[in-house]
Amino acid sequence: MKALDDIKMALDYGYTMITLDCSEHIKNFSSEQNAELEETYRSLAEEERVKLEKQFIGKTFNLKTGLRLTFTPEALKRNAAIYQQAINFAIMVFNQFIKPLQGKVDFEVSIDETATPTDPLSHFFVAEQLIEAGVKINSMAPRFCGEFQKGINYIGDLKQFEAEYVEHTKIAEHFGYKLSIHSGSDKFAVFPVIGRESKGHVHVKTAGTNWLEAIKVIIAAEPGLYREMHEFALRHLEEARKYYHISGDPQRVPALQDLSDQELPKLMEEDDSRQIIHITYGLILLAKDQNGKYLFRDRIYECLQRNEELYNQFLEKHIGKHLELLGF
């Protein structure tokens, strides 16, 4: 959640976990934008800059998990320019909404919506200030190296991921919260590392591809309905891309007219078609005709209710694979 009104509404309704999306308060700079970064850092209040410089520059932090971290002046400027507004936002939200509930709500902080990965030094920079301010974090979501795109396996250097994940885990253990793996569905290549290093103390977000398991049910039970949904998804793909970064290419998806009903299931085994159907889920479920009647939603629910046992079987196998590779 990003908006204060939405956070209040969710808490008023009794939700027991809030993920605070700090993306609107995180700045992004390319390696060439040194002047812009410097300007952003200088725009912070002088009192805040003095405090940060005293707290971090030239200091070596020896974590109880064995990790050693040191901030140069350049590293401090970069991290403060990128993350300081997000840190202040998270502190404000915690004090205003979460703290008065006295531990009844799990509070997760997400800093994963950045142009570049969150390196361990940046992770520590954020966490150190939140904890110092009395923020009780149940979990934090950095942006890990590589790509965690929707609906498909991990893309990236597995050795780099393992090396950095070990350090991220040591930071989380030092402060006493869980790492949160956003877009964690189907990231099978990195699950063994996550499971081994986290020792079960981790939050892997997997709900997204449960939708794709539902799609498999629809393909099996009502292929005609799936064909309608597929065509709708292709027509509205660019609208969905405004909210999600994917590499899925509709040009690589076989034309529906060239596939028999028996061949449709293979679409949910291919990255391009999986991603396209994945990110258009909201548009599919909310689409209405000119009379205000849902185009697909009611038929989707009816299909899943009629085929609940098949859906359960698909989900058990799918989530079971996640748990097995995580070592749980």
Q: Are residues 16 and 66 in the same domain?
A: yes
Q: Look at the alpha carbons of 77, 79, 80, 85 in this order and tell me if their dihedral is positive or negative.
A: positive
**301-306, long-range: CB within 8 Å, 24+ apart, which pairs?**
303/217, 303/218, 303/221, 303/222, 303/225, 304/214, 304/217, 304/218, 306/221
Same domain as 277, residue 161: no
Q: Does a structural domain hold residue 327?
A: no
How many Cα atoms are found within 13 Å in the side-chain-facing hemisphere of 224? 1
pTM of the model as a whole: 0.91
Cα gap 309→191, rounded to integer Å? 28
Q: Please answer whether residues 85 and 24 qualify as being in contact, where contact means their C-beta atoms are separated by less than 8 angstroms.
A: no
Q: Are residues 130 and 153 located together in one domain of the fold?
A: yes
> Are 186 and 302 within one domain?
no
Both 47 and 173 in a single domain? yes
Structure tokens at 204: 């892997």
Whether residue 225 sits in one domain with residue 195: no
Please give the tally of structural domains in the chain.
2
Same domain, 51 and 99: yes
Please tell me whether residues 307 and 190 are part of one structural domain.
Answer: no
155 and 220 within one domain? no
The answer to the question of residue 323 being in a domain is no
> Which token pair is 127?
């966490």
pLDDT in tens, the chain (328 residues): 999 999 999 999 999 999 999 999 999 988 788 999 999 999 999 999 999 999 999 899 999 999 999 999 999 999 999 999 999 999 999 999 999 999 999 999 999 978 789 999 999 999 999 999 999 999 999 999 999 999 999 999 999 999 999 999 999 999 999 999 999 999 999 999 999 999 989 999 988 899 999 999 999 999 999 999 999 999 999 999 998 889 999 999 999 999 999 999 999 999 999 999 999 999 999 999 999 999 999 999 999 999 999 999 999 999 999 999 999 8
Instruction: Specify whether 178 is located in the same domain as 30.
Output: yes
Q: Give the structural domain span for 106.
A: 4-205
Give Cβ neighbours of residue 208 (< 8 Å, ≥ 6 apart): 150, 151, 183, 185, 278
Question: Within this chain, do residues 113 and 262 fall inside the same structural domain, yes or no?
Answer: no
Whether 98 is in a domain gets the answer: yes
User: Of the residues 205, 237, 272, which one is the last residue of a structural domain?
Assistant: 205
Q: Are residues 118 and 229 in the same domain?
A: no
The domain that holds 47 is classified in CATH as 3.20.20
Angle CA 264–266–268, to nearest 5: 95
